[in-house]
Structure 1
Amino acid sequence: MNSRAKFLVVLSSTGLVAFLLLGAVVSQSVAADTNTGRNGVYPHIAVYSEVLSRIKSEYVAEPDMNGVSLGAVNGMLEALDPYASFLNATQFKEYVKNYDTYKGELGLVLAKKFGYITVVSVVPGSPADKAALTTGDFIETIKGVGTRDMPLAFASLLLKGEPNSTIDLTVLRRKPEPQKLTMTRAVLTYPAVESKLMPEGVGYIKVSVLTNGKVKEVATAVAALEKQGAKKLLLDLRFCATGDPEDGAELAGLFQGTGTLTYAEGQKYPKKIYLGDEKKVISKLPLVIMTNRGTAAAAEVAAAALQGNKRAALVGEHTYGNASVRRPITMEDGSAIILSVAKYYTPEGKSIQDNGVTPENMVVEQDQNAGDSDDDGIPDVPTKGPSEDMILKKALEVIAKKA
Structure 2
Amino acid sequence: MSSRFQYTLVTLSGVLVALLLVGVLLGQNRPAPSSDPYRHLNVFTEVLAKIKSDYVEEPDMKSVSLGAINGLLVSLDPFACYLNADQYKQYLKTLENPKGGVGLILSRKYGYELSVVDAIPGSPADRQGLTTGDIIEAINGILTRDMPLAFADVLLHGEPGTEVELRVLRLSRPEPVTVKLKRAVVTPPPPEARMLDGETGYIAVTDLTAGKAEKVAEAVRELTGKGAKKLVLDLRHAALSEPAEGVVLADLFLDKGLIATLEGQKVKKQVFEASPAKTVYRGPLVLLTNRGTTGAAEIAAAALAANQRAELVGERTYGDAAMRKPVPAGDGGAVIMAVAKYHAPDGKAINETSVTPQHLVSDVEAPQTMDEEEGAAPAPPDLRQPEKKEDTVLKKALEILGGKADQAHAAPVAAPAAAAGKTLHKGA
TM-score normalized by the length of structure 2: 0.86
Give the counterpart of 2:145 among 145, 148, 162: 148
Cα separation, 2, equivalents of 1:169 and 1:222: 39
- Deviation track 1:27-69 (CA, whole Å, cap 9, x = no partner) reads 3636x23x515x1430x22332232233223322222222221
Match of 1:162 in 2: 159
Count of aligned residue pairs for this structure pair: 390
| Superposition deviation, residue 221 in structure 1 | 1.7
Deviation at 1:184, TM superposition (A): 0.9
Q: 2:169 aligns with which of 163, 168, 172?
A: 172
Query: 1:47 is matched by which residue type in structure 2?
Result: V
1-side partners of 2:75 and 2:311: how far apart?
32
2:119 equivalent to 1:122: yes
**2:305–2:312 contact (8 Å) kept in structure 1:** yes
CA contact 1:106–1:128 (8 Å) conserved in 2: yes
Residue in structure 2 matching 1:73, options 69, 72, 77: 69
Matched, 1:104 2:127: no
Rounded to whole Å, the distance in 2 between the matches of 1:147 and 1:400 is 48
Task: Give the % identical residues.
Answer: 47
Q: Quickly say closer, same or farther: Cα 1:330–1:212, change in 2 above 3 A.
A: closer
Q: What letter matches 2:257 in structure 1?
A: G
User: How far apart are the structure 2 equivalents of 1:52 and 1:365?
Assistant: 46
Q: Hey, what does 2:13 align to over in structure 1?
A: 13
- Whichever residue aligns with residue 95 of structure 1, its letter is Y
Aligned partner letter, 1:276: A
**Structure 1 stretches of 4+ moved >4 Å:** 370-374
Tell me the alpha carbon deviations over residues 135-174 of structure 1, each in whole angstroms, 9 at most, x when there is no partner: 1111111111000011011111111111111111111112
Superposition deviation, residue 199 in structure 1 = 3.3
How many angstroms apart in 1 are the aligned matches of 2:95 and 2:221? 38
8 Å CA contact 2:315, 2:361 repeated in 1: yes
Deviations 1:365-401 (A, max 9, x none): 325xx96999xxxxx9553143432222222222239
Deviates more, 1:190-199 or 1:350-359: 190-199
Partner in structure 2 of residue 236 of structure 1: 234
User: How big is the shift at 1:299?
Assistant: 0.8
| Residue type of the alignment partner of 2:23 | G
Report which of the two has the higher share of helix. Answer: 1
SS at match of 2:342: strand
Using the TM superposition, give the Cα deviation of residue 22 of structure 1 relative to its aligned residue in structure 2, in angstroms: 4.0
Distance 1:357 1:149 in 2: 30
1:325 is paired with a residue whose SS is strand
Q: Look up the SS of the partner of 1:270 in the other structure.
A: coil
TM-score (norm 1): 0.91
Separation of aligned partners in 2, 1:130 and 1:100: 26
Cα deviation digits, residues 161-201 of structure 1 (max 9, x gap):
11111111111112142111221110123122112222362
Amino acid at match of 2:278: K
- Counterparts of 1:358-373 in structure 2, within 5 Å, are 358-366=356-364
Find the residue that maps to 2:286 and give its secondary structure.
strand
| 8 Å contact kept, 2:130–2:383 | no
3-state DSSP of counterpart to 1:329: strand
Q: Which has the higher contact order (CA 8 A, sep 6+)?
A: 2
> What is aligned with 1:183?
181
Equivalents in 2 of 1:157, 1:194: separation in Å?
30
Pick one of 37, 52, 56 that aligns with 2:52: 56
Rounded to whole Å, the distance in 1 between the matches of 2:42 and 2:390 is 56
Q: 1:118 to 1:236 in 2, by over 3 A?
A: same
Alpha-carbon distance in structure 1 between the residues aligned to 2:80 and 2:53: 31
Amino acid at match of 1:400: G
Residue 377 (structure 1) aligns with: none
User: Structure 1 residues 182, 373: closer, same or farther in 2, change over 3 A?
Assistant: same
Q: Given that residues 343 and 349 in structure 2 are in contact (C-alpha distance below 8 angstroms), is that contact kept between their aligned partners in structure 1?
A: yes
Q: Match for 1:141: what amino acid? A: A
Structure 2, unaligned runs of 5 or more: 371-381, 404-428
Equivalent position SS for 2:9: helix
SS of match in other structure, 1:290 = strand
Task: For 2:293, give the aligned amino acid.
Answer: T
Greater Cα offset, 131-140 or 110-119? 110-119
* Matched residue, 2:397: 395
> What does the per-residue CA deviation read over 1:257-314, in whole Å, with 9 as the maximum and x for residues that have no partner?
2122112110000112222111110110011101000100111111111111111111
The correspondence of residues 131-280 of structure 1 with structure 2, limited to 5 A, is: 131-174=128-171, 175-199=173-197, 201-280=199-278
Question: Corresponding residue for 2:353?
Answer: 355
